Amino acid sequence: MCGVAIEVEGERILSIRGDKDDPFSRGHICPKAVALKDVHEDPDRLRRPLRRTAGGWVEVGWGEALDEAAERLAAVQKAHGRNAVTIYQGNPVVHNHGSVLFSQLLLKSLGSRSRYSATSVDQLPQMLASLLMFGHQLLLPIPDLDRTDFLLILGANPLASNGSLMTAPGVEKRLHAIRTRGGRVVVVDPRRTETAAAADQHLPIRPGADVFLLAALIHALFAEERVHVGRLADGTNGLHVLADAVKPFAPEAVAARTGLEAGAIRALARDFGAAPSAVAYRQCRLQRGPRGGDEPVGCVTWRAGRERGLLPADLAATFQGVEP
C-alpha cells in the first residue's frame, strides 16, 4: 500500500525509499518494501519450474511443468472426485492482476468446493457482518483516521500491520495526530501490543470475551440515552430489537467475564458516545475467536438475521440463551 521510489541501473536496484509525493502513503515505507531489493537480487530466487528427482531438483520448461500439473490434477480428480483437489490462495494473489483474473477461471474449471484462502483464515466474519448490515460482503467500512476524535481499537495492532484492510500507511503518525488534535485512542486487547503501548488507554480484556464487552457498551449507550439516530432515521430499523437483546448484558453483569471493571466499561461507552466523531475498529484476532462470526456486529445479529432468513439455525443459536 506504500508508494515507493526505486532507483535502478539496468536490472540492479540502487535504492528504495518512500515516495513523498504519493498522496496516500506520504513517504511512509515499511520493511517489506525495502526488502524488495533482496528478493529481486537473491541468487536462490526461483526463476524456472523445478522437478524433484532421485538425484535432486532439476529445471524443466514451463510448458512441460504446466502439462504435468494439469495431467496429475485431472488424474486425482478422476480417481477421487473433484473435491479431492484443495486450493489455497494467499495474499499475493490480490496484488497481481493476472492472478486475480485467471485464478477464477482455474477455480471454475477445477470445480472443487475445497477452497481456502487468507480471507477464510482471518476476515470472513467481517464479510458476514458487511453482508448482514449493508447487503454485500465487500462493502467493508474503512475508519477515517484523519478526521475521527475517538478511535476504539479492538484486537488489532495497526502499528505492526499498517491497519491491514484499513490500509493506513504511516499509521503511527495518524494515531499521534488524533491525540494531538485533542482526541483519544483506546485499545482493547489481552496483549500489550505496540499500539496499546502508544494509546491513551489500554483495556486488557480476557481472550474471547470481546462480544460481551460490545454488548455491554451497547447496553450502556441505550441505558444512558446516548443513541440518537438523527438524519439516519430513514435508513434505520430494528433498534428496539437491539435494545432488547442487550438488556441482560449490563457492564456489571459482564465484568467478571471480560476481566474489566464495570466502571471502566461505562466510562468507555460514555466517552465513545460523547465524542464528536468516533470509530470502532477491529481486526482478525476478534474474528478468530470462538464467536468470530458474531463479534463484528455485536452479539445480536443472530436475532435480526434469523428473522430475515440470513443466518442458519446453528449460527443463530450461538447467542440464543447465552447468559453473561
> Does 323 reside within a domain?
no
User: Is residue 186 a contact partner of residue 152, using CB atoms and an 8 Å limit?
Assistant: yes
Tell me the three-class secondary structure of the chain, residue by residue. CCCEEEEEECCEEEEEEECCCCCCCCCCCCHHHHCHHHHHHCCCCCCCCEEEECCEEEECCHHHHHHHHHHHHHHHHHHHCHHHCCEEECHHHHHCHHHHHHHHHHHHHHCCCCEEEHHHHHCHHHHHHHHHHHCCCCCCCCCCCCCCCEEEEECCCHHHHCCHHHCCCCHHHHHHHHHHCCCEEEEECCCCCHHHHHCCEEECCCCCCHHHHHHHHHHHHHHCCCCCCHHHHHHCCCHHHHHHHCCCCCHHHHHHHHCCCHHHHHHHHHHHHHCCCEEEEECHHHHCCCCCCCCEEEECHHHHHHHCCCCCHHHHCCCCCCCC
Does residue 9 sit in the same domain as residue 93?
no
Does residue 132 sit in the same domain as residue 260?
yes
Does residue 145 sit in the same domain as residue 292?
yes
Does residue 161 sit in the same domain as residue 224?
yes
- Report pLDDT for 292: 57
Does residue 231 sit in the same domain as residue 262?
yes
In total, how many domains does the chain have?
Answer: 3
Does residue 138 sit in the same domain as residue 261?
yes
Does residue 107 sit in the same domain as residue 139?
no
Does residue 132 sit in the same domain as residue 248?
yes
Dump pLDDT digits (tens) for 125-138. Answer: 778 877 877 788 88
Does residue 231 sit in the same domain as residue 108?
no
> Does 281 reside within a domain?
yes
Does residue 150 sit in the same domain as residue 289?
yes
- Report pLDDT for 190: 93
Q: What are phi and psi of 16, to 5 degrees?
A: -130, 125
Does residue 12 sit in the same domain as residue 78?
no
Q: Is the pTM above the cut of 0.75?
A: no
pLDDT (tens, 9 = 90+) of the chain, 324 residues, equals 788 999 999 988 999 999 999 988 888 888 888 899 998 889 998 999 999 999 999 999 999 999 999 999 999 999 999 999 999 998 788 888 899 889 989 999 999 999 988 887 777 777 887 787 778 888 888 888 889 999 999 988 888 877 777 778 788 888 999 999 999 999 999 999 999 999 999 999 998 888 889 999 999 999 999 888 888 888 777 788 888 888 989 999 999 999 999 999 999 999 999 999 998 988 766 656 665 554 444 433 334 434 444 334 443 444 444 444
Domain span holding position 140: 124-316
Does residue 232 sit in the same domain as residue 299?
yes
Which of residues 118, 139, 173 is at a domain's end?
A: 118
> Does 324 reside within a domain?
no
> Does 112 reside within a domain?
yes
> Does 234 reside within a domain?
yes
